[in-house]
Amino acid sequence: MTALILYIVWASLAFGWRTIEQRRRTGDSGLRLHAQPNTPQWWAKIGFGVAILVGFAAPIAAVAGLPNINALDTTWLHTAGIAVTLIGIVLTVAAQSSMGESWRIGVDADERTELVTDGAFRLVRNPIFTAMLITATGLAMIIPNVISILGLVALVVALEVQVRLVEEPYLRTVQGAEYRAYAQSAGRFAPGIGRIR
């Protein structure tokens, strides 16, 4: 039940609260969900939707009695998972907030927002996604069942598609040399890892 509550808190803050706050501050929800079928943006959106649904199904399945994977079913892992999940939730909200008016879900090729390079973005180009991966990892530690592991894998794949095939090409086109210089200094998901040379 703990994982289900934490998942609902995370999703409510990351998607509900952030969208409402963005609309309150800017008059725009920040949601850019339209994508042409069979484009990288469309596949990333589908993959992300699957990851979110599977991630939500994992704690429900656990409450319904789906057993954990024996090798991962330890008290210390579950306890550490709660801490990791809470850290991930806090980092998600903090990273989203630090984007200010530039916060978006999805990409509109005709839109240009300010390139955020300070705060957590100084070290990592995608700290929101990093925080989401931390949260999903923590949830999989709390309830290490087959569904939670599949949800984590689906999230990794969806985020890789979104970042490498949608966001990075868009930012290179729209932000040009400023983005290229930034991408040389900040890692993709972790400090120093995935810098673009």
Question: What are the residue ranges spanned by the domains of the chain?
Answer: 2-20+38-101+115-185
**Rounded to an integer, what distance in angstroms lies between the CA atom of residue 49 and that of residue 34?**
13
**In this structure, are residues 186 and 124 in contact, taking their beta carbons and an 8 Å threshold?**
yes
State residue 94's pLDDT score.
Answer: 93
| Residue of 9, 22, 7 whose CA lies nearest to 105 | 22
Mean predicted confidence (pLDDT) in 104-119: 81
pLDDT band at residue 31 under the 50/70/90 scheme: low
For residue 29, pLDDT beyond 90 = no
Mean pLDDT of the chain: 91
The tokens describing 110, both together, are 């005709």
CATH number of 2-20+38-101+115-185: 1.20.120
> Tens digits of per-residue pLDDT, 155-176?
999 999 999 999 999 999 999 8
